[in-house]
């Protein structure tokens, strides 16, 4: 004896009579009621207010002179690749650049000790503008992310993967990083160092 070959029945549904069918009695003809929206059950979606600097995905506050917030590891990578911070930024963006450094980044560089004294000396250069921090703690990544979300006029210079991920979630904030022994920029299509897509 062989196997009995039967095709499987897909999407089998229990057949129902239409409410207009003549075989149904009056008591069986129950009409489906439409639920009315209860004003107490309505959920309110609160979206964060978008910045007035954003025009679709284009940030109108970015323009020469560019304001660039520098991270700790960006200075260290610049030293390893033998790049001058300010001149390399100008070569990348073809415009005047003002590097900014926060108190948290300075504190991080001071904590690193004697090994990073060259980076600390570069950070204390007169070409760098210093931004004062009024928050508790010295974690620079949180400070930079908070500052960038409040003011969309900055470009963030970092090579830190975690910080890059956090900044990519914020619309309209370009990221400057070091690749192939030169500065490159992400999310700023007009720049020389921007990767070609």
Give residue 193's pLDDT: 63
Tell me the residue range of the domain where 125 lies.
Answer: 61-186
Is residue 192 included in any domain, yes or no? no
- The H-assigned helical ranges of the chain are 72-80, 85-93, 103-111, 117-123, 140-150, 161-168
Number of domains, the chain: 1
Is position 66 within any domain? Answer: yes
The percent of the chain in helix, strand and coil, each rounded to the nearest 5, is 30, 15, 55
In the prediction, which pLDDT does 163 show? Answer: 96
Mean of pLDDT values over 170-191: 88
d(CA 156, CA 177): 9
More reliable by pLDDT, 68 or 51: 68
The answer to whether position 56 is within a domain reads no
Note whether residue 132 is domain-resident.
yes
Identify whether 131 is part of a domain: yes
Q: Which CATH number fits the domain that encloses residue 119?
A: 3.40.50.1010
- The CA-CA-CA angle for residues 164, 107, 170, to 5°, reads 25
Please tell me what DSSP assigns to residue 135: S
Interior angle at CA 41, CA 38 and CA 46, nearest 5: 130
Integer Cα distance of 116 and 126 in angstroms? 18
Confidence of residue 195 (pLDDT cuts 50, 70, 90): low
Whether the per-residue pLDDT at 22 is higher than 70: the answer is yes
What is the predicted pLDDT for the residue at 108? 93
What mean pLDDT comes out for the span 1-27? 71
Q: Mean pLDDT score of the chain, rounded to an integer?
A: 85
pLDDT band per the 50, 70, 90 thresholds, residue 117: very high
Q: Does residue 154 fall inside a structural domain?
A: yes
Task: Tell me if 120 is assigned to some domain.
Answer: yes
Measured distance CA(154)–CA(61) in Å, rounded: 9
pLDDT in tens, 35-63: 666 777 777 777 677 777 776 667 888 88
Is residue 191 included in any domain, yes or no?
A: no
**Residue carrying structure tokens 């993967």:** 161
């Amino acid at each position: 004896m062989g196997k009995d070959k039967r095709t499987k029945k897909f999407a089998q549904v229990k057949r129902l009579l239409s409410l207009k069918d003549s075989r149904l009695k009056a008591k069986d003809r129950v009409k489906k009621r439409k639920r009315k929206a209860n004003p107490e059950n309505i959920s309110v979606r609160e979206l964060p207010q978008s910045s007035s600097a954003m025009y679709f995905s284009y940030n109108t506050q970015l323009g020469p002179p560019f304001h660039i917030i520098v991270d700790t590891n960006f200075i260290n990578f610049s030293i390893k690749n033998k790049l001058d911070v300010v001149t390399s930024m100008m070569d990348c963006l073809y415009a005047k650049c003002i590097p900014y450094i926060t108190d948290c980044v300075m504190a991080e560089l001071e904590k690193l000790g004697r090994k990073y004294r060259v980076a600390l000396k570069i950070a204390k250069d007169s070409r760098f503008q210093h931004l004062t921090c009024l928050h508790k703690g010295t974690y620079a990544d949180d400070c930079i992310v908070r500052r960038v979300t409040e003011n969309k006029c900055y470009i963030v210079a970092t090579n830190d993967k975690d910080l890059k991920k956090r900044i990519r979630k914020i619309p309209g904030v370009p990221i400057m990083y070091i690749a192939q022994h030169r500065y490159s920029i992400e999310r700023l299509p007009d720049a020389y160092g921007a990767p070609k897509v």
